[in-house]
Structures are given as structure tokens and as C-alpha cells.
Amino acid sequence: MEVFWYTMIAMVLVVFFILDGYDFGAGIIHLFFAKSEKDKEVIAKSAGLFWDSNEVWLVAAGGMLFMAFPTFYASVFSGFYLPLIIVLWLIIFRAIGLEFRSQFNYQMWKAIWDKSFGISSLFLALFFGIALGNIVRGVNLGSTSNGISVHEAHYFFLPLWDSTFSPLSGTPGVIDWFTIVIGLITVVTLAIHGANWIILKTNSSINLQLKSVIFKLNIALSLLTIFSLSLWLMINPDALDNFMEKPWLLIFTVIYFSGVFGLFFIKKIKKDIYGFILSSLIIVGGITSTLASIFPVILPSTNSINGPLTIYNTAAHEYGLSIALNWFVVGFILLFVYLIVQKRLMGGKIDHMDYGH
Amino acid sequence: MEDMIFYDRLQFAFTITFHYLFPQLTMGLSLIIVFFKWKYLRKKEEKHNDSAKFFMKIFAINFTMGVVTGIPMEFQFGTNWAKFSELTGGIIGQTLAMEGVFSFFLESSFLALFIFGEKLMGQKLHFLTGFLVFLGSWASGYFILATNAWMQHPVGYEILDNGVFVLKNFSALFSNPWLLPAFLHNQFASVVTSSFVVASIGAFYILSEKNIEYGKLFLKTGVIFGLVSSLLVAFPTGDWNAKNVAKYQPAAFAAMEGIFETEEAGSEIVLIGQPDMVEKKLDNKIAVPKILSFLTHGEWDKQIPGMDQFKEDELPTNIPALYYSYHIMVGLGTIFIGIMVLAVFFLRKEKLYTFKPLLWTIMFLFPFPYIANTTGWYVAELGRQPYLVYGLLRTVDGVSPTVSSGNTLFTLLGFVGLYILLGLLFLLLVGKTIYQGPEPQKH
């Protein structure tokens, strides 16, 4: 049961990052590459039409995590208190940027909300990556100090950074040189993904330029990936054990690299949807390989006193998990039906779609 | 420790109060939009369709605000109330996850289609998407109320040795006797808010002699929905809820009614008075004998336990705030019924559109249902204190053990600043939409 819910939550999260990932990415591209007002408008629109129905996947993942792994939810949300609240503020700035920019036809008004959308998208991508970095690096569970746990074994509190900025300090903060690298990987990945989305959904004048942007970012991504892997092995020499024991898990890694590999041919790809699928593969592969590498652990401990959080020691009781299965099956089918209906009805280029308000 | 709980509570209270300004409009307004759309399908008069689209613009702004202020609510269960989440997540996680999966998805997916898809879909499908938005928003309310009902009156659980609440009976969450009255009361109250807003915009257009045809339609629709919903909020749903509080949370009932001392036979109902917590009495009291016993139990002489019957640590922690919230809610609710009866009376006499004093009153009435809704929720939440899960888990035992008060104050200040900005932007945009009016825009 635990494995089932773990898989489902991972799946909803992956869908969230594929969907909301493209509008984060569109924000990053918007910030750095959109120059003319027409491009700015159409790129903002390619995110603005969809962000709220994409973000419900985050809400759903949050709700499912709360229901199935309440101890994990409680531990992680209170432990990462500051970064999570900052993420909330960024989500708010991004959303109002998207919703409000077209409300007044006034240059300065638009410029303000464009920046709000772009900068918060950039930082959100960075923070989500840093979060993933924290999950694999682990935290000082129980807030131990001099060999004594200050809190219960499954609670902790992380400052934003500690003075060393090092994952090896024993009491690492949220931001250190390892999590920053993972954050950068996420920014680059989502920028690629967003660029593919813009090419797919709009006729913006920078579509052609974006293909070479994708190509360059893809080189950066490849280098960052190799760099981060070596950092990771330095921090945690056992990082690849799961893959050694269960080689089939490597399929996730293969998915990741096939996406990266494919995107080197972005300039030759004729159908825009293929580019989008390739960057989706990177997201799918990236998240699943990371999670697989620590499974069944979901939050490692950086001290030797308190063991890690796993899906087994944080799950809700059996009865609740199995009864939730009944409603979830129905709900899950509905989610995909809504998604398909929506993407069908709003398929094609969105340049001339009437922006209601 | 005291500081920590104070800031955690203040942050939750502030963010939920601000958040609920928006759903209380959208839930009721979706019903009125569906009504306009249905009218259009039947009568084929453009003004009904224009009205549906006009209010959908206002709905969309409110929906955005509701979403961005709603995500922090879900997060805060974990960030600020970690111990509570850990202990009860196996139960309330069910209803909260269902809210996300079933209703929030429905509402947000079909809202986009309603706004952008009219030409693509044809009128019948467009009506259907509007209906699904309505269904989604009411289902949201239902699951949230189911979550709250469990906290007010826990059912279907078992407590393990380590204090964890385990779900034993899933269907009990939905047959909870607290749920249906609270849900209906809440939904009708949200119809009150939205119908008063619709009527208020109507009165504004008539008084300012702009969009007068739409003004009349809004005013008429608003006051009819307003009368029906304000009546339903009071009776039977308000009455049911009061009886539930008297039955399941007698200490809260005594506090909200302001009964300090138990009376031998039959309790009076307090209309006005200020609680004096030192002397344990009401100052400047105006009360009617025995009415409360009759309203609550149908018997004039039935004894109702006063606050003197309960231990100090069983009584709500802020009795004056609870007492005032309750009396403001009930007082406003009564005034609403009065004004709406008058408005419908003038409507029947065909004098409503020209009777200026009433038009001005209705125009300025719209903030008050927001106040009544907010104080209504304060009654529920302050009455639940000092517990998170009534009678079982105290509020002090639910906070995050590792988050310091300095950090909570930091985020609280951040939320205050951000929400002031959001509030100003919201008013600007709604003001602009009302100013532009429901006439179709010429391109």
C-alpha cells in the first residue's frame, strides 16, 4: 500500500512538473529573451491560460501526501518552514503577474507584472531544484547537537543556509553548493521545457532563436548533470547502490539521458511536439531517477543517531490508505479526462485566442 | 511557547480570514451565473448572456485571489501545525485530498473553458461548463466543511497509544451530524454575499444612470436570491447549527450566548451587553427571559448550563471575541432579512427601481455579508478552542515543535504586507470591471 501511494504521489508530482514546468520555463524565457511587446504578450498568454489548472496538480500532490504520509508531511513542511513560505509568496507574485498584466493597456503596468512573472518563475524553478537537492542530501533529523536529539527523531528545522554553505558540514542549511547546483539544473531544464512550449503553442517571432537557445542550454545541462553526479558521489558514496542492486531502475536514468540526447537534434526536429516530449522526458527521468536512488527512504538523515524517514515509518494507517484507493481511482481517471478535454479544446496555437478579461 | 502559539494562531486567522473573502463570493456567484446562463438558454435575450459573462469576469478575479491565498492554507497545516498534521493527517488528509482531486480540479479546468470557450463550444456546452464550475466550487465547500466538521465533532476514529488518530470508519466522516447543517448554512451564507454584491452593483448602475437595463436585472435577481438565502441561513440551517453547538459543545454555547450563570428554570436570550471577564457578568444587558431555552430545546423551562458549570480549561479561550462574533452574525442576519423583505415588497409594487433611499441602502450593504460570514466562522473556530479536535487534541499540542516564534512572526509580517498589496490590486480590478460595465466590448 505504501509503495502504491508513493508511486501515485510521485506520478502526480511528475505531471505537475511537466505541466507547471512549462509555464515556469515560459517565465524564464520571457525574462531573458522576449523583447518585443507582441512576444511578451503571447508568451505570458501561453502560461496565463493554463497556470491555474496546472497548479492544482501541486495542490493534489500536497493533499495526497498529507493523507498518505502525514508524518512526512508534518516533518518536511515544518522543517523547511522558511523556503516553503517563500515559495508561497513567489507563487502569489507569479500568479498575479500573469493574471493582471493584460488588465490595463499601459506600458509601465505591463512591465511591472512581466518582471513579477519572470523573476518569480526563475526563483521558483531554483527553489524547487534546491528542494529536490535537500531531499537527496538529507537533513539533520531530530536536530542533533553533540550527539543528543533536541527534537523528536522525525522533526528538524533547517535555516536557509549555514555559514559554511557546505552539504558536508553536518548541519547543512537549505542552500549549499550542492543544492544550488541541483537548483541550476532545474532552472536550465525548465527553461528548455518552457522554450519548447512557446515554440509549440505560439507564433512568437523568437521561435527560431529559441531553438538555438535550447541547443546551448542543453549543452549546459549535460555538463551540469555530470558535475552534479560527481558532487553527489562525493557527498554520499553509496548514492548509486540502489541502481546496482536493482538495475531495472536505470530505466529512469535512460529516460533522462534520452531526452537530453534527443534535444541535441532540436534544430532538425520538424514537429514541435517532439521537442516538448523530449524535454518532458528529461523532467520525468530526472525526478524519478532522483527518487529511485534513495527509495524507500524519502528523507535521509545526516546524523548517525536518528534513522532516515522512509515511506514505511511515515505512512498513515492501513485502513485509511486502502479506503482512499476507492475514491482515488475515480478521481485519478477524472483528472486525466479533464486534462485531455482541456488540452483538446485549447489545442493549437494560442496567439489569437480571446483573452477573456 | 505562549508567543509561538499566539503567532501561529494569528497567522492562520489572518490568512484564512483574507482567503475566505473570495470563496464566499465565488461559491454563491457561480450559482447566480448558472441562473443567468439558464435564463439565456430559455429566453434567448442577450442581456442574460452578457450578465453571465460580466459576473464571470468578477468571478475570475476572485477565483485567482482564492487560489493564490488558498494554497498557503494547505501548506500551513504542515508548516505551522505539524504536530496536528502528524496526528490527524490520516483522517482529515482524506477530505482535504478529496477536495484537491475532485473539486478544485473540476472548478479550475472548466473555468478556463467557460471564459475562453464560448465560441468553440456552443451555448448548451457553455452552460454545462458553467454548471461544472458551480459544482466544483460547492464540492470544494463540502469537503472543507467535512474536514472542519471532524475537528468540531470527531467521529469514526480511534486513538493509538502514541496519540495518532486512525481512521476506522470512512463513511462516518460524511454522515457526521455536524456536517450537513454547517455545509448548508455556509453555502446559503455565501449566496447571501454574492446576491448582495449583485444587487449592490445593480443599485449602483441605477443610481448612476449607467447600464440601467442591466442594473434593473441585477437588482431584481440580487434581491430575490438575497431574500431566499438570508431566510435559509437563519431558518432552518442557523437554527440546526445552534442546536448542534448546544448539544456537542455546551461550553462554547454558553460562551457565545453570554450565559455566565446557570439559571434555575429557562435561560434568557441576550440581545445586547458587554462581557466583563473579571466580574463574570454582562454589563448593560438587554435580555428576554426564557426565549433561549425555547429556541434551543422547545421547552420554556429547560435548564441550559452556563459558563459556571465548566472548568476553566474547558471554556473557549477568548470568550468576549466569541460572544461578539456570534451577536454580530445574528444581528446582521436579522437586518438582512428585514431589508430584503422590504426590497422584494417594493419590487412587487414596481417601486424598487425608483425608491432612492432603499437603492442607496442596498448599494452600501455589500460589505456587511462579508462581515457576517467572517464572524460566523469566528464563532465556529473560537468556539472550538481550546481544542483543535474538540475534546481530544488541544491547540497547544498541535503546533510545529521546531518552528520558532521569530520565524512565524517574520512570515506573518510578510503575509500582511503581501495581502495588503493583493487587496488593493483586487479592488482596483473589480472597480475597473464594474466601471466598464456589462455591455459587450466593441473591438
- The answer to whether position B443 is within a domain reads no
- The answer to whether position B125 is within a domain reads yes
B405 touches chain A (CB under 8 A): no
Q: Nine-digit cell at A2? A: 505504501
- Distance in angstroms (rounded) separating the CA atoms of residues A182 and A290: 11
- The answer to whether position A224 is within a domain reads no
Please identify among residues 49-108 of chain B the ones whose CB lies closer than 8 Å to any CB of chain A. 56-57, 60-61, 63-64, 67-72, 74-75, 77-80, 82-83, 85-94, 96-102, 104-106, 108
Residue whose cell numbers read 487534541: B393
CB pair distance less than 8 Å for A73 and B61: no
Do the Cβ atoms of B41 and B413 come closer than 8 Å? no
Please identify among residues 139-168 of chain B the ones whose CB lies closer than 8 Å to any CB of chain A. 164, 166-168
pLDDT at A297 over 50: yes
- Is cis: bond before B236, omega within 30 of 0? yes
Under DSSP, is residue B423 helix (H, G, I), strand (E, B) or coil?
Answer: helix
Please identify among residues 5-24 of chain A the ones whose CB lies closer than 8 Å to any CB of chain B. none
- Distance in angstroms (rounded) separating the CA atoms of residues B23 and B31: 13
- Distance in angstroms (rounded) separating the CA atoms of residues A53 and A47: 11
- The answer to whether position B55 is within a domain reads yes
A143 touches chain B (CB under 8 A): yes
Tell me the nearest-neighbour CA distance from A174 into chain B, angstroms.
Answer: 15
Total domains in chain A come to 1
Between the CA of residue B168 and those of A265, A319, A326, B84, B159, what are the distances in Å? 56, 7, 15, 18, 10
Question: What phi and psi, each to the nearest 5 degrees, are found at residue B270?
Answer: -90, 125
A70, A88, A157 ranked by CB distance to B86: nearest: A70
pLDDT at A239 over 70: yes
Q: Which residue of A has its CA nearest to B11?
A: A85
pLDDT value at residue A344: 80
Residue among A50, A91, A92, A151 with most chain B CBs within 10 A, to mutate: A92
Q: Which residue of A has its CA nearest to B409?
A: A82
Q: Which residue of A has its CA nearest to B120?
A: A345
Closest alpha carbon to B36 in B20, B24, B25, B52? B52
- The answer to whether position A267 is within a domain reads no
pLDDT value at residue A357: 37
Total domains in chain B come to 1
- Distance in angstroms (rounded) separating the CA atoms of residues A297 and B148: 32
A53 touches chain B (CB under 8 A): yes
Q: Nine-digit cell at B48? A: 442574460
Residues of chain A with C-beta less than 8 angstroms from the C-beta of B422 = 92, 96
- The answer to whether position A92 is within a domain reads yes
A91 touches chain B (CB under 8 A): yes
B17 touches chain A (CB under 8 A): no
- The answer to whether position A190 is within a domain reads yes
- Distance in angstroms (rounded) separating the CA atoms of residues B295 and B290: 9
The model's pLDDT over B260-277, given as tens digits with 9 standing for 90+, comes to: 989 888 888 999 999 999
- The answer to whether position A327 is within a domain reads yes
Would you place residue A354 in the very low, low, confident or very high pLDDT band (cuts 50, 70, 90)? Answer: low
A116 touches chain B (CB under 8 A): no
- The answer to whether position A278 is within a domain reads no
Residue whose cell numbers read 480571446: A354
- The answer to whether position B137 is within a domain reads yes
pLDDT value at residue B441: 65
- Distance in angstroms (rounded) separating the CA atoms of residues A304 and A142: 11
pLDDT value at residue A100: 87
Closest alpha carbon to B60 in A231, A211, A102? A102
Do the Cβ atoms of B43 and B112 come closer than 8 Å? no
Residues of chain B with C-beta less than 8 angstroms from the C-beta of A76 = 78
What count of other Cβ atoms lies within 10 Å of the Cβ of residue B368? 18
ipTM of the complex: 0.91
Residues of chain B with C-beta less than 8 angstroms from the C-beta of A82 = 407, 410-411
Q: Which residue of B has its CA nearest to A12?
A: B101
- Distance in angstroms (rounded) separating the CA atoms of residues B65 and A100: 11
Which residues 6+ apart lie within 8 Å of B165 measured at CB? B87, B88, B90, B91, B154, B157, B158, B159, B389, B392, B393
- The answer to whether position B120 is within a domain reads yes
Which residues 6+ apart lie within 8 Å of B204 measured at CB? B215, B363, B434
A233 touches chain B (CB under 8 A): no
Q: What is the mean pLDDT of chain A?
A: 90
Q: Over its length of 443 residues, how does chain B's per-residue pLDDT go in tens digits?
A: 567 789 999 999 999 999 999 999 999 999 999 999 999 999 888 999 999 999 999 999 999 899 899 999 999 999 999 999 999 999 999 999 999 888 888 888 888 888 877 877 788 889 999 999 999 999 999 999 999 999 999 999 999 998 999 999 999 999 999 999 999 999 999 999 999 999 999 999 999 999 999 999 999 999 999 999 999 999 999 999 999 999 999 999 999 999 998 988 888 899 999 999 988 888 998 989 888 999 998 888 888 999 999 999 999 999 999 999 999 999 999 999 999 999 999 999 999 999 999 999 999 999 999 999 999 999 999 999 999 999 999 999 999 999 988 899 999 999 999 999 999 999 999 999 999 999 876 54
Q: Nine-digit cell at B111? A: 473555468
Q: A301: domain range?
A: 2-199+297-345
pLDDT at A347 over 80: no
Q: B94: domain range?
A: 2-247+317-436
Do the Cβ atoms of A88 and A14 come closer than 8 Å? no
Residues of chain A with C-beta less than 8 angstroms from the C-beta of B126 = none
- The answer to whether position A126 is within a domain reads yes
- The answer to whether position B230 is within a domain reads yes
Which residues 6+ apart lie within 8 Å of B139 measured at CB? B99, B102, B103, B106
Closest alpha carbon to B394 in B317, B338, B335? B317
B297 touches chain A (CB under 8 A): no
- Distance in angstroms (rounded) separating the CA atoms of residues B313 and B304: 20
